[in-house]
Amino acid sequence: MFDYVDGAADAELTLRRNRAAFAAVEFVPEYLSPVDHPDLSTRLFGREIAMPLIFAPTGYTRMMHHEGEAAVARVAARHGLPYTLSTVGTSTVEDVAAAAPGGEHWFQLYLTRNERLNTELLDRALAAGFTTVVLTVDTPVAGRHPKDMRNGLTIPPSLTLRTLFGMARYPSWALNKLTTAPITFASLSGMSGMSGGGASGVSGMSGDTIDAVRVADVVFEPTLSYQHLAWLRAHWPHRLLVKGILGPRDARRVVEAGADGVIVSNHGGRQLDRTPATLTVLPEIREELGPDATVILDSGVTHGQDILAARALGADAVMIGRAYLYGLMAGGERGVERAVTILREEYARSLQLLGLKASAAIARHHLRMP
């Protein structure tokens, strides 16, 4: 499981580029102005969030720790930050809404060719009070993850001699897996759109026993197009973001097609390897969309200073994926709490060291990109 989270696609070049781009940034401080009690908050879609940080959607989260999505959503709500549930999450939209009432919940959608399923997913997210849909577009097919292939990873894990040996080395993880609710693709399980074959159904799928191979067949959609985006725009009444944008042309097109903003993302290096680091394409995308569009960045954010860098180059906020999953794997809800607290402290301290009193004060001239 650790390699599944930590690893990336192919030679992991993009994974390293993401981190290298953040590391290459140079900050230019502005001293002799008061910086006590910095205001970390920021406005996103006209509403205030506690800092420019959002929890990215990650699939299979209860595999990493049995407390799973509910724990992450609770931490997000406590910190006044949005949480994004994945279509291939192991908790339902209803679970998340119940676990973290009052939190701001977003739903990441893998739009499929099964219109009934798409409609059901949207209806349930709407009924559960989710405010925003995130359409992920960088997954026409699954990325190739050599570490998972070497490890023989299957989801859920199959009980081979090797996995049993692995589980024996982590008895509390194994015990939790055996004594807590079984892991399912909760958002997809039991959906009428998932059962049966026929015109729109997916043959061979039924009930709660959906395996990862079948799920991959459904969620990775090679025919995804602007027609799907138009359908989604017509069927989702609230905010809509498109995730996986890496160039100004696509950014412009999806906004013209009705998206309320973009998430500049290379999926944390897990899809197409050799894409640019998101930080290096961010300025072009911001320039193309102008100051008013919502632009969020993810991929490689592991330090509060990464948030500063992204803000300086034009992002309204960043998303984190692995940064919270490491915390979750290490300590469940407490681990996620610790991860966010670390990021928050780093961000606050770095703002002050830069000579700034508020998130809103970060500007392009505070940063140099060699």
Ligand X SMILES: Cc1cc2nc3c(=O)[nH]c(=O)nc-3n(C[C@H](O)[C@H](O)[C@H](O)COP(=O)(O)O)c2cc1C
Active site residues: 267
Smallest gap from Cβ 164 to ligand X, in A, equals: 23
Nearer to ligand X, 242 or 367 (CB): 242
CB neighbour burial string for 164-174, b if at least 16 within 10 angstroms, e if fewer: eebbeeeeebb
Bridge-partner residues for 134, per DSSP? 108, 241
Nearer to ligand X, 38 or 59 (CB): 59
The pair of structure tokens assigned to 153 is: 């990873």
Half-sphere exposure of 224 (CA within 13 A, CB side): 21
The answer to whether the beta carbons of residues 247 and 276 sit under 8 Å apart is no
Nearer to ligand X, 173 or 353 (CB): 173
Bridge-partner residues for 243, per DSSP? 136, 263
Binding site for ligand X (CB under 6 A): 5, 56-59, 86, 88, 108, 136, 243, 265, 267-268, 270, 298-301, 320-323, 325
The pair of structure tokens assigned to 176 is: 């939790």
Smallest gap from Cβ 28 to ligand X, in A, equals: 26
Q: How far apart, in Å, are the Cα atoms of 181 and each of 26, 67, 92, 208, 328?
A: 47, 10, 13, 12, 18
Residue nearest to ligand X (CB): 321
The pair of structure tokens assigned to 121 is: 């997913």
Nearer to ligand X, 3 or 208 (CB): 3
Rounded Cα distance between 86 and 93, Å, is 9
With residue 48 as reference, give the H or E element that holds it: strand 47-49
Smallest gap from Cβ 76 to ligand X, in A, equals: 14
Nearer to ligand X, 35 or 262 (CB): 262
Rounded Cα distance between 75 and 54, Å, is 11
Smallest gap from Cβ 176 to ligand X, in A, equals: 18
The pair of structure tokens assigned to 59 is: 């699939």
The answer to whether the beta carbons of residues 80 and 40 sit under 8 Å apart is no
Nearer to ligand X, 73 or 356 (CB): 73
Smallest gap from Cβ 268 to ligand X, in A, equals: 3
Rounded Cα distance between 98 and 93, Å, is 9
Residue with tokens 């709490």: 337
Range list of H helices, 180-258: 212-219, 226-235, 248-256
Smallest gap from Cβ 61 to ligand X, in A, equals: 8
